[in-house]
Amino acid sequence: MDALFDESLVASVREQLAELLVQAIAILPGLILAIVVLLLTRTFANLVRRATRKVANKTLKSLSLQTLLVQTGYVGAWATGLLVACILAFPDVGVTDLVALLGLGSVAIGFAFQDIFKNFLSGILLLLQEPFSLRDEIIVEGFEGTVEEIALRATSIRTYTGELVVVPNSIVFTSPVRVKTDKPQRRTDLAIGVDYNTPLPMAVETMLTAVNSVEEVRSMPSAEVDIVEFGDSSINLLVRYWTIPQQKSVRRVQTQVILALKQACDEADISIPYPIRTVYHFDQEKYADASQLGTPAAN
Q: Closest Cα to residue 119, out of 174, 69, 64?
A: 174
**What CATH number was assigned to the domain covering residues 127-179?**
2.30.30.60
- Checking if the pLDDT of 251 tops 70, the result is yes
**Beta-strand pair 186-194/137-140:** unpaired
Phi and psi at residue 188, to the nearest 5°: -120, 135
- Checking if the pLDDT of 262 tops 90, the result is yes
- Checking if the pLDDT of 53 tops 90, the result is no
**294 φ/ψ sector (left φ>0, alpha ψ -120 to 50, else beta):** left
- Local confidence band at 160 (pLDDT 50, 70, 90 cut-offs): very high
What are the structural domain ranges in the chain?
Answer: 16-112, 127-179, 186-267
Per-residue pLDDT tens over the stretch 189-224? 999 999 999 999 999 999 999 999 999 999 999 999
State the average pLDDT over residues 131-139.
Answer: 92
- Checking if the pLDDT of 293 tops 90, the result is no
Q: Which CATH topology does 186-267 take?
A: Alpha-Beta Plaits (3.30.70)
Tell me the CATH architecture of domain 16-112.
Answer: Orthogonal Bundle (1.10)
CA distance 103 to 233: 73
Which has more pLDDT, 84 or 224?
224
State the average pLDDT over residues 30-41.
Answer: 82
* 68 Cβ neighbours under 8 A, 6+ residues apart: 124, 127, 128
Which has more pLDDT, 250 or 78?
250
Q: Closest Cα to residue 253, out of 264, 242, 262?
A: 242
Which has more pLDDT, 156 or 276?
156
pLDDT of residue 200: 95
Which has more pLDDT, 185 or 32?
185
pTM of the model: 0.64
Q: DSSP letters along 104-166, please?
A: HHHHHHHHHTHHHHHHHHHHHHHHHH-SS-TT-EEEETTEEEEEEEE-SSEEEEEETTS-EEE
